[in-house]
Amino acid sequence: MRNGPIENCARRLEVRLVRRRWMAAFALLAFPCFLGAQHTDDSKPAVTNVRAAEYPRVHADGRVTFRVKAPTAQKVQVQPGPAAGEPSGLGAGRFDMVRDKDGVWTVTTPPAVPGFHYYWLLVDGVEVNDPSSETFFGYNKETSAVEVPEPGVEFYLPKAVPHGEIHEHWYHSGITGEWRRAAVYTPPGYDANPRTRYPVLYLQHGGGENVTGWPRQGRMNFILDNLIAERKAQPMIVVMETGYAFRPGEKPPAAGAPQVAHSTLEDVIVTELIPNIDASYRTLADRDHRAMAGLSMGSRQTLQITLTNLDKFSYIGAFSRPPAADFDATSAYNGVFHDAAAFNKKVHLLWMGAGTTEHQIHDSAKASHEALDKAHIKNVFIEFPGTAHEWQTWRKALYDFAPRLFR
Amino acid sequence: MRNGPIENCARRLEVRLVRRRWMAAFALLAFPCFLGAQHTDDSKPAVTNVRAAEYPRVHADGRVTFRVKAPTAQKVQVQPGPAAGEPSGLGAGRFDMVRDKDGVWTVTTPPAVPGFHYYWLLVDGVEVNDPSSETFFGYNKETSAVEVPEPGVEFYLPKAVPHGEIHEHWYHSGITGEWRRAAVYTPPGYDANPRTRYPVLYLQHGGGENVTGWPRQGRMNFILDNLIAERKAQPMIVVMETGYAFRPGEKPPAAGAPQVAHSTLEDVIVTELIPNIDASYRTLADRDHRAMAGLSMGSRQTLQITLTNLDKFSYIGAFSRPPAADFDATSAYNGVFHDAAAFNKKVHLLWMGAGTTEHQIHDSAKASHEALDKAHIKNVFIEFPGTAHEWQTWRKALYDFAPRLFR
């Protein structure tokens, strides 16, 4: 590489001596600098990159070029995050990177399915984050990701419309004995209209994720801002809590045990979170103005919690519900579907959706939909073409689900 | 290891086959599981660990035990994050980890100085994050960290007091042509008192960090919540913006260039951010009710921006200001200190502080304080014993600075 600021920057990535102008060296230390100064192609740095990182780069046709400087490694690969046992939209398997003489490793993937894709680097077989990527909490740890834009699709991008705000809301749980943090979205106009009260959607993340999932991976605030600005959705408060809650001494479910809706979480949500939210925000605190939805593990929790607490919820959304073998509409959830007329009167919306390429989940959700139809239970089934068990499915699910609420 | 849930969990860390109970495997995939089931010592998992990660563990005397499973690596070390050219409170150099027969690497450090310490793992020489740690944005990338409690020090811990909220506030900058995100803390009672207006502190992070620094590393919300509850500080709004702003086509400062307060940032803060905050929140929008402070690079920016915009600010805080060689009180900042009587009347507080073990910065700040004293400029200099160029210094700085505002 030429001897210029970029090469010097790249050198500092390796050499942790602190020079005399320590402040500059300090700030640039390990700066995922401008690896490869010239780009004559149509690629752009991914929006999921850390500030000023040039890689990964996304091409107009959806190919992704990953690059990392690791001169002392023997082998570096890109590992897409697993997506419920089926290929992620980034790729079905690992991508081997190729090393150049300066120890810079590169690979360009085939065109990826648009959307948000978790990934890691494997450095000599050890799964680590890409220093060029922001981290997102998934798989129970901080994980790298790359965002591949979908041409013509803008509903989750920030636009020149009024914006809501996501609040970090701390409260103490007597049940778990710990401080818990919920993310709460208040809609545009919330502060300007201090006498207005709003309906509430409780929105849950998937297994291995946390409260930052819907804001950061899901971009739920932009999705709601845009829907509200277009008058397609009612202004609403959205509460996002962690889908894990354990009493002191309780352990996370053992390896191999299915991720069932844990009863402790149900207790926290119903007896602690809802009253706390109703006391802290200007909510419409009745079942006609309270919805719940979730993705994957969050959708199982949603079904478990709402269908057994119909005095509290009247809108239900199950996004990519894990396969439910032998779903029996007459007996499921303590027989809640047994009296179809009563159920249809009580519940304003029962919504299920899945991407068409998360085959197992899609087929199971469709089968449940048909079983519910057969039992005369009013329900909605929406499928999203070409998306897998990934965030592009769940953004689209929220985009379809939210306008149906509170009408 | 015995054949139990923990061993199975550890196996899944390596083996990425998806079993039939895919949902459980999916959730547990790469779960930084219970490495080492029994703890007969006094150590506890660090609060900076990801959910359920047992390591790193902090002992009562401040030693830290790091552990990671990396069977295919040849060498694994712990690298403390650099702290302005002087030893971090975690350690002066790298710690070599020792591998056991199962490929689990471990090291226990000597007692660490209490506080928040950035670190990385070096896997075969490649700097990566510890999968067991949450990530925190520093050094221009996502970085691991370990929190070592300080016995008897609780001012930055969550307590049973009313809590403020941190908002994610998006706005569009015409100057940079991009969407910018500020973190805004509103004090306890903000929503309940819709006619009350509040003073504002603009609080900046250090080089290589971003808007999440003060909330996540600094725990500023708990610091303010506790001060306000004890009536030691006035309820105030705190605005935390990114300390980087570039016009289209502008590049980050070149390697080797000092991190000066970039004029584009000044333009964004003064002409865009302040009006936007005053329009979006119930602020007292005058100079007597507007303060600015920052750490390290943020303190240079603070001094540059406030001292040349005294029509906008009247309280100034410089936390760990980088060394300023040849500080001349008569000529600095366009001669703002020249007329001491006028300055002292205009500026309610000029505050400088440093940790005693960030020697260069401490000595330089002290020298500037003495130079200002000599020029009859009213100013405060506070030193924090035993802390380095790290977040424990800056938490303590905020704890000392905030009660002095808006009295």
Pair B351, B382: CB distance under 8 Å: yes
Cα of B51 to nearest chain A Cα, Å = 7
Other CB atoms closer than 10 Å to residue B199's CB: what's the count?
A: 20
* Best mutation target, B6, B15, B18, B23, to test chain A (most A CBs within 10 A): B23
Nearest to B82 among A18, A124, A129 (CB): A18
Whether a cis peptide bond, with omega within 30° of 0, leads into B56 is: yes
Contacts of residue A146, defined as CB under 8 A and 6 or more positions apart, other chains included, come to: A46, A48, A56, A58, A64, A66, A90, A112, A116, A117, A119, A133
Least confident of A149-153, A323-327, B330-334: A323-327
pLDDT in tens, B313-343: 999 999 999 988 778 888 899 999 999 999 9
Structure confidence by residue, pLDDT tens digits, B349-385:
999 999 999 999 999 999 999 999 999 999 999 999 9
pLDDT in tens, A230-270: 999 999 999 999 999 999 988 766 544 554 547 899 999 99
For residue B11, what pLDDT is reported? 42
B322 and A23 within 8 Å at the Cβ level: the answer is: yes
Q: Which residues of A touch B18 (CB under 8 A)?
A: 82, 85
Nearest Cα residue to A95 out of A56, A133, A134, A45: A56
Q: Backbone dihedral region of A406: left (phi > 0), alpha (psi from -120 to 50 degrees) or beta?
A: left
pLDDT in tens, A24-60: 333 334 445 445 445 678 999 999 999 889 999 999 9
User: Cα–Cα distance between B212 and B102 in angstroms, integer?
Assistant: 37
CA separation for the pair A335, A333 (Å, rounded): 5
From B370's Cα to the closest Cα of chain A, the distance in A is 23
Query: For the whole model, what pTM was predicted?
Result: 0.88
B253 and chain A in contact, CB less than 8 A:
yes
pLDDT at A325 over 80: no
| Cβ partners under 8 Å of residue A255, min gap 6 | B5, B8, B9, B12, B24, B28
If one counts every other C-beta atom within 10 angstroms of the C-beta of residue A74, the result is 12
DSSP assignment, residue A348? S
Mean pLDDT, chain B, rounded, equals: 89
**Do A135 and B135 lie within an 8 Å CB cutoff?**
yes
Query: How far is Cα A250 from Cα B146, in angstroms, rounded to an integer?
Result: 25
Asked if B128 is an interface residue toward chain A (Cβ–Cβ < 8 A), one would say yes
Surface of A (10-69) touching B: CB under 8 A: 12, 16, 18, 21-24, 26-32, 50-53
Extended beta strands in B304-358, E state: 315-319, 349-355
Q: Which residue of A has its CA nearest to B132?
A: A141
- Give the DSSP per-residue string, A8-26: HHHHHHH-----SSHHHHH
pLDDT of residue A32: 53
Burial of B134 (0-12, 13-18, 19+ CB in 10 A): buried
DSSP code of A329? Answer: T
**Closest residue by Cα to residue A47 from A30, A68, A64:** A64
Closest listed residue to residue B49, CA positions, set B60, B39, B62, B64: B64
Structural contact between residues B388 and B352, judged by C-beta atoms closer than 8 angstroms: no
Q: Quote the DSSP letter at residue B203.
A: E
